[in-house]
Structure 1
Amino acid sequence: MAIKEGTGRFGLWPVSAAWDEQYVYRVWFGHSDGDDGLHPMITEYLAGRRYDLLDLLSPADEGESTSAVIYRVVRGIPYGEMMTYGEVAAAAGTHPRVVGGALRRNPTPLVIPCHRVVGEKDIGGFTPDIRIKEDLLGLERRIKKNRLKA
């Protein structure tokens, strides 16, 4: 299967991804050389028309490494909700700093929604720009609020 690569937008942010029919291998915030648009499910999510990306697979959460266990915990955080680094660490049987390191290396943000993990006292970090995390959390908060009103 051929790997496709494409770029779309989330507000001001360019979002790029590489995927095939079964897996999303990488998501990053920045342009790609691919001339296809983004995976349709990612495009729908960024437009607020899809509430999860659980139908997409990431090789990063396979296996029994500490990072894979952390990524599976993070994939379980519902749309519009958050967990602290400490809560993820407790669920994964590790330390909050290990969680932060794993999320910093997350090859498939959005698919593994690391933006939903926050600090106890602040929003925590996000690579490459904390404003992307703020915008993603804001999108989910607005969509969830509108769904509850309906």
Structure 2
Amino acid sequence: MMKTGSCSFGMWKVLVSWEGNVVHQVQFVRTAPEGLVPVQFTKFLAGRVDSFAPLVSAAVSGDSVYSRIYAAVSDIPYGETRTYGEVAFAADTHPRVVGNAMARNPTALIVPCHRVTAADGGLGGFTPDLQIKRDLLKMEGKRRRG
């Protein structure tokens, strides 16, 4: 049975829909219905854990280009970033396709799109607000791989 709940991250609500250990949707919204979320979300957003295990994203199943991108992004370790180009190489696609996939990521945080940045050192984008990406990277103590 699908469950939906929300928790807070700064001025935002994190709306989560899941069934068992499979997360189907994670969105940053201004208002959301009350309800419990898996404890991994509240612990992660409080900076107390660096993993959502055993939760997984429904978006990584299959062999579409987007599922390959989401799987590659899911492999980016906590506190590290990869460029759109690095993710594209890992998923055998183009950086613009990675950007499109990140903009449509149905399970932010579980598929940590905030860890994907521009090759020029810029942040790239983040929906609905780039400040969320800044805050998440700061919380994780972002460090470049290398």
TM-score normalised by the chain length of structure 2:
0.92
Equivalent in the alignment of 2:135: 135
Between the aligned partners of 2:12 and 2:64, the Cα distance in structure 1 is 31
- Distance, in Å, in 1 between the alignment partners of 2:16 and 2:32 is 8
Instruction: Report the AA paired with residue 137 of structure 1.
Output: L
Aligned partner of 1:15 in structure 2 is 14
Q: Per-residue displacement from partner, 1:7-35 (whole Å, max 9, x unpaired)?
A: 111122211111121211100011333x3
Where does structure 2 lack aligned partners over 5 or more consecutive residues?
Answer: none
The structure where helix makes up a greater share of residues is 1
Aligned equivalent of 1:59: 58
The 1:54–1:103 alpha-carbon spacing in structure 2 relative to 1, beyond 3 Å, is farther
Match of residue 117 from structure 1: 116
Percentage of matched positions with identical amino acids: 47
Q: Do the aligned partners of 1:5 and 1:32 also contact (CA within 8 Å) in 2?
A: no
Deviation at 1:54, TM superposition (A): 3.8
Aligned residue pair count: 141
Range with greater deviation from structure 2 (48-57 or 86-95): 48-57
Q: Which residue does 1:101 correspond to in 2?
A: 100
Quote the Cα distance in structure 2 between the aligned partners of 1:76 and 1:54: 13
Q: Which amino acid letter does the alignment assign opposite residue 51 of structure 1?
A: D
State the distance in 2 between where 1:100 and 1:54 align. Answer: 25
TM-score, normalised relative to structure 1: 0.89
Structure 1 or 2: more strand by fraction: 2
SS at match of 1:5: strand
| 1:27–1:108 CA contact under 8 A, matched in 2 | yes
Aligned match of 1:42: 41
Structure 2 letter corresponding to 1:10: F
Q: Per the alignment, in what secondary structure is the counterpart of residue 26 of structure 2?
A: strand
Equivalent residue, structure 1, for 2:67? 68
Offset at 1:39?
1.7
Gaps of 5+ in 1: 145-150
CA distance in 2, matches of 1:124, 1:63: 27
